[in-house]
Amino acid sequence: MDISTLTPDKQVKFQYWLDVIRQCRASGLTNQVWCEQHDISLKSYYYWIAKIRKLALEELPRKRNGSRPVMEQTALLPDGAPEFTEVSLHGRQDFSAAPAAVLHIGTVTVELFEDTSCELLEAIMKAVRSC
């Protein structure tokens, strides 16, 4: 699902919550303190974070065989959000059947394979930390 396919009302609500999340993160306060100061339900805040993440994840292209997600292009994200960069898989011949490690951080799951470069791992960790 693309945000442009949402009804105008849902697009407005989606944009409102993106702005709320950006403001909270930019404040330097904990989510709980910021939400209390702005009379926002913490439960609603986390609900919308999950909903926005889900929509963003649905936008990531998937391999045709459905085995693992593959980034084939740069995703355009709002200001202040993590940016994803194209990862070239050229020259990689043998794909391991199972990941060497699987990280579960909140609602984010990251599969790491033995040949994952330090640069890619560092970029992934920076992106996950900002979630």
pLDDT (0 to 100) of residue 62: 45
pLDDT (0 to 100) of residue 14: 85
Distances (CA, A) of 92 to 30, 89, 95, 121: 42, 6, 7, 17
- What residue has token string 């442009």? 4
Report the C-alpha gap between 79 and 16 in whole angstroms. Answer: 14
pLDDT (0 to 100) of residue 38: 94
What b/e string do you get for 48-74 counting C-beta neighbours within 10 Å, with b at 16 or more? bbeebeeebeeeeeeeeeeeeeeeeee
According to DSSP, the residues that pair with 108 across neighbouring strands are 105
pLDDT (0 to 100) of residue 45: 92
Q: pTM score, two decimals?
A: 0.45
CA atoms within 13 A on the CB side of 56: 20
CB-CB contact of 74 with 61 (8 Å): no
| Rounded mean pLDDT for each run of 10 residues along the chain, 131 residues in total | 72 87 90 93 91 75 47 53 64 60 77 78 77 63
Amino acid at 77: L
pLDDT (0 to 100) of residue 89: 65
